[in-house]
Amino acid sequence: MNKKLLISILATALATILIGAGTYSYFNDVETSKNNIFVDGTIDLRIRHNPDDPWTDGVTATWNIPDMKPGDDIPQRSIWFKNFGTIQTSTLTITCNYSVIEEVPQTEADTDPNTDKHPDAMAKYMIITYIHYRNDLIDIDCLTGMNGTQGPIEDWKINDTDNDGKITLYDLKNDPLNLPSPDTQPSKTTQLDMALKFHLAAGNDFQGDTFNLELIFTLSQ
C-alpha cells in the first residue's frame, strides 16, 4: 500500500476516534430541592410600669417630680420586661441618656443659664441610691454587682466613672449594665427597681432647670 495512502487512512481513523470521544455521553438524572425558605426570627422587647398594665414598646413618665430641690429623695419606680419575639436572648443592656431644659424666663438666681448645653453637669448630681434587677430566682444589686452571695460580676455593676465618690446617672450613661436576659427565666416576671436622690450639694446653677431622663433597654442574643 502506498505510504501516503496509509498515513491518510490512519489520520482519518484517528480523527473519527477523537470525534466519537468528544460526543460520547453518560445517562444522568437531575432532581431539585425547591421552596427552601429562611425567615429571620425576631427580638421584641416590651415593657410596662405595673404588673397589671399592658405590655408596650415604651413607657413614659416613670418619674414626674415637680419642684425638686437639693437633698430630695426621688421615690423608687419599677419597670417590667418581657421578650415577645421568637429568638432566645442572653443579655439586657441598660443605660441612659438625658437632656436639660433651661427655664424661660431665666430665674435670677440661676448662675448657669446654659446647663442645657452640658447636661452632664446636672446628671452628676442625680445619685442612684437603689437599683435592683430581679425576678423570683435572682436579685442583682447593680450598685455592687452582687446576686445574693454570687459575685461581684463586673457587667452587673455601675462603676464610678468620674471618681467623684458617688454613683449617678452620669455613670450609668458611661458604664452600661449588661444583665441576664428576661429570657433566662421565661416563666418569671423580671423587673428593674430604681430610686434616686438629688444631691444636697447641687447649686443655684440648676434652679428652674428641667432634667429629662431617658432610660434605654437593649435586648440582644
Classify residue 216 as left (phi > 0), alpha (psi -120 to 50) or beta: beta
Average pLDDT of the residues in 131-158: 96
| pLDDT value for 6 | 46
| pLDDT value for 2 | 52
Q: Which CATH class is domain 45-220?
A: mainly beta
* Domain locations in the chain as residue ranges: 45-220
Distance, in Å, from the CA atom of 52 to the CA atom of 48, rounded to the nearest integer, reads 9
Q: Side-chain half-sphere of 105: how many Cα atoms within 13 Å?
A: 2
Contact present, 53 and 167 (Cβ < 8 Å)? no
Q: In whole angstroms, what separates CA 96 from the centre of its chain?
A: 11
| pLDDT value for 39 | 80
| pLDDT value for 31 | 74
Bigger pLDDT: 108 or 151?
151
H-run or E-run covering 17: helix 3-23
Asked if pLDDT for residue 123 goes beyond 50, the answer is yes
**Degrees (nearest 5) of the Cα angle 68, 69, 73?**
75
C-alpha cell belonging to residue 73: 429623695
Q: Tell me the pLDDT band of 105, cut-offs 50, 70 and 90.
A: confident
Percentage of the residues of the chain whose pLDDT score is greater than 70: 88
Average pLDDT of the residues in 143-167: 96
C-alpha cell belonging to residue 61: 413618665
Asked if pLDDT for residue 78 goes beyond 90, the answer is yes
Distance, in Å, from the CA atom of 20 to the CA atom of 76, rounded to the nearest integer, reads 90
Average pLDDT of the residues in 91-101: 95
Asked if pLDDT for residue 158 goes beyond 90, the answer is yes
Average pLDDT of the residues in 209-216: 93
**Separation of first and last alpha carbons in the chain:** 86
Distance, in Å, from the CA atom of 28 to the CA atom of 126, rounded to the nearest integer, reads 76
| pLDDT value for 24 | 53
Distance, in Å, from the CA atom of 153 to the CA atom of 141, rounded to the nearest integer, reads 10
Lowest average pLDDT, out of 33-42, 64-73, 163-172, goes to 33-42
Strand positions, DSSP E, the chain: 45-48, 73-83, 91-101, 126-134, 139-141, 146-147, 177-180, 190-198, 210-220
DSSP-based three-state secondary structure for 108: coil
What average pLDDT is seen over the chain? 87
Q: Which residue bears the cell 489520520?
A: 11
| pLDDT value for 5 | 46
**Distances in Å between the alpha carbon of 58 and those of 20, 61, 70, 135, 191?**
75, 10, 29, 20, 14
